[in-house]
Chain A
Amino acid sequence: MPTTEFRDASVKALANPELRANFRRAMDGLISKRAELFAQGQDWAPLRALGAAAKLNALANLPVLLEKLEAKLIANGVQVHWAETIDEGNEIVKTIMAKRGAKRAVKGKSMVSEEMHLNHALEAEGIEVIEADLGEYIIQLDHETPSHIIMPAIHKNKKQIAKLMFEKIKNAQYSEDVDEMTALARHVLREKFEHADVGFSGVNFAVVETGTLVLVENEGNGRMCTTVPPVHIAIMGLEKVVERLDQVPALLNLLTRSATGQPVTTYINMITGPRRPGEKDGPEEMHLLILDNGRSRVFADPELRDTLRCIRCGACMNHCPVYTRVGGHTYPGVYPGPIGKILMPQILGIEAAGDLPHASALCEACTEICPVGIPIGDLLVRLRREGARPSHGPIAVKGAGAQGTAREALIWRGWRAVYSAPALYRLTMWGLTRFGRMFPSWLPGLSAWTEVRAKPVFAKQTLHELAERAGISDD
């Protein structure tokens, strides 16, 4: 039975005017900030070509590059771990922490750790995990998941946040002043940074050439998490590799402009190992966890593999008319928006998320804006196809075929029969123009259409007829 989870959730979201207003305002801002930066002659096309080249090169050589990365990291003193599933990943983290007797952790923003439900797994072991990125901290206070991959608390307005901080933070004064709320968060987190046993981070780019992890941020929590606690655990999906250091500047350029409309983030960290002898600070122990969770299966399909080009900038969702109207929580899994619509059905499977590829008007605004050129529209269509019937191949999309119904198959067979036979087609169109008014309103889709639109009116005669009558030549 095909899922309709997304549609059901979207109906609820559409009925929430505050949510819609928050997202509209936020997306408008992000769209215009990005546009400004690329309007200043920043050479969108050549930059995008460089970004695509770096990611395509990485994908073309992925297994070899991962092996090289691992070797380089180990030589730099980093311990490298691999996990096929999120359960395996969480177990690895638990083991590292147990070895250190670690009970307190601080975490920089990491979507892959959300994908793993890492906090939940660690909290079950009695470990305190504090989100150090302000947006993540805010939603953690409210026991929520992020609604956007770059700005996790984008669905909340100032008042909502003020109330939350006042209710959940000990001894907090109520204030709607943004600077005061920020100062409060700084104060609370500072103590956490100072005394944490472990710091977590994500990875924006893992550079094979030098064994370097690149991490961008504005707040400084990334620097804190990767410098102050004695242990640093970095987590990344296996597609985050980039072969050479000189490929990084273009990617950074694309990432910060596309994500938040900034020419650069406050900090860019390039981390090439734990503390070296003679150094006075930095973690004694550093780990990288490489997570698969379905990505190797995505990789196996030459067309769907392009999903893995993603640098997690969020521009696609910023420009998506669907995302803007329903917000991130409407989507299952942690990645919303267009990237979520192609990634989640592959990770969660078609049974669980097969309606996601259909939750799109195929307007291609995302395709147009993607800094690394992912053909998102084409991949949505491909996944719709997989949903209806699985394509041939050794590693099919998980649950392929689960979204198709017999009724739909019949409709399209009927459509094919009429539209591929010229005489039958012309007869059918003639019939609709003459007798179409008689079509009842309960026809599938018509009642939905007429909610906000008048019933479509067939013309009195077809274009074929008009052309013939006007004597337009046939060949």
Chain B
Amino acid sequence: MTDARTAILGRLKAADAGATTSVPSEDFTTVLGRGWSAEERLARLRRNMEAVHTEFLDARGADWVRAVHAWLVEQNLANLLYAPETPVGRRLGQSWPGLGPNLVPYERPMAEWKSGLFQGISAGISGTRGGIAATGTLILWTDADEPRTLSLIPPVHIAVLEVDRLYDTMLQAMRDQNWAAAMPTNLVFVSGPSKTADIEQTLAYGVHGPKRVLVVLT
């Protein structure tokens, strides 16, 4: 008895023989760079993200760690989950003020403290590998140092974005950073807080992903 794989591939190969399909050539111009300046990229990213309720904290020329701390105090958020082994994490670890919200390092596997993660964390902070101006999108590269759930489970997601790491389009970012050479287990593109329009096509925010997204510009 032939297994499904053999049967399926067999049928596909038999059908393929003699088929003449002309595949059109590809012109990527329309999805490549738009020639935007750095200012324009930032302006577009910000406009696109704010249109879907993303919040921004401009910490350029300032100490972003202090800025984030102050924001958490102002928002009455009790703690901040972070990834200690990342550049963002190391900065946080070094200069986090003693008083106010606690820094909680994401050090153990999720399975060991799942309920703590789901119930006890007010906000999570992650780095980014840049942003995409055309759509207002953050590039999140998760790995052993920066877990996936850091930017997913806590109700508030804070993302540190370097303004000189912006791209016009996704394809531009993909080529520049050469993703195809080595993909992470999870490459996530975040364009704002979670939302839905499933109830009478009315937009509602804060479904299953973070309810709020704060982009810290550095």
A interface with B by C-beta (< 8 Å): 25-26, 29-30, 43, 46-47, 49-50, 52-54, 56-57, 59-60, 62-63, 66-67, 82-84, 88, 132-135, 138, 151-154, 156-158, 161, 178-179, 181-183, 185-186, 189-190, 193-194, 209-210, 212, 218-221, 223-224, 227-228, 230, 238, 244-247, 249-250, 252-253, 260, 263-282, 290, 292, 296-297, 299-302, 305, 395
Contact = CB atoms under 8 A, between A and B. Distances in A.
A63 B195 contact: no
Interface in B52-73: 52
Contacts of B136: 263-264
Given A82-B8, A280-B110, A46 B201 contact: no
B37 interface: no
A230 B200 CA distance: 34
10 contacts: A52-B24, A63-B12, A178-B200, A218-B195, A220-B207, A246-B171, A250-B30, A263-B48, A268-B189, A269-B189
A52 B21 CA distance: 12
Contacts of A395: 11, 15
Interface in B177-200: 179-180, 183-200
B104 interface: no
A182 B206 contact: yes
Nearest to A253: B31
Contact of A282 (B148, B183, B195): B148
Contacts of A132: 208
B24 A267 contact: no
A130 to B, nearest CB: 12
Contacts, number: 258
Contacts of B193: 266
A247 to B, nearest CB: 8
B118 A279 contact: no
B108 A280 contact: yes
A220 B152 contact: yes
Nearest to A136: B198
Nearest to B151: A223
A275 B144 CA distance: 9
A266 B31 contact: no
Nearest to A65: B12
A30 B8 CA distance: 37
Given A134-B196, A178-B200, A281-B147, A189 B208 contact: yes
A49 B25 CA distance: 9
Contacts of A263: 48, 134-136
Given A249-B31, A271-B185, 18 more contacts: A43-B30, A49-B24, A54-B26, A60-B19, A63-B9, A63-B12, A63-B13, A88-B4, A161-B200, A186-B206, A212-B183, A218-B197, A219-B207, A238-B12, A246-B180, A266-B209, A276-B185, A297-B11
A190 B4 contact: no
A277 B4 CA distance: 32
Q: Size range of the interface on B?
A: 35 or more
- The interface centre, meaning the residue of B27, B192, B198 with most chain A CB atoms within 10 A of its CB, is B198
Contact of A249 (B109, B147, B169): B169
Q: Which 5 A-B pairs have the closest CB atoms?
A: A220-B209, A278-B144, A300-B15, A135-B198, A220-B208
Contacts of A138: 198-199
A272 B16 CA distance: 29
B202 interface: yes
Contact of B4 (A47, A84, A230, A247): A84
Interface of B: 3-5, 7-9, 11-16, 19-21, 23-31, 48, 52, 106-111, 114-115, 118, 134-137, 143-144, 147-149, 152-153, 169-171, 174-175, 179-180, 183-202, 204-210
Contacts of A67: 9
A244 B4 CA distance: 26
Contact of A296 (B11, B197, B207): B11
- The interface centre, meaning the residue of A62, A224, A279 with most chain B CB atoms within 10 A of its CB, is A279
Contacts of A181: 199, 204
Given A190-B118, A253-B31, A265-B191, A281 B148 contact: yes
A297 B10 CA distance: 11
A156 B144 CA distance: 43
A50 B170 CA distance: 15
B207 A82 contact: no
Nearest to B32: A249
Given A57-B23, A63-B16, A278-B144, A219 B174 contact: no
Contact of A246 (B14, B23, B148, B175): B175
A224 B199 CA distance: 21
A209 B183 CA distance: 11
Contacts of A157: 200
Contacts of A245: 174, 179-180, 183
B23 A179 contact: no
Contact of B30 (A47, A272, A301): A47
A59 B21 contact: yes
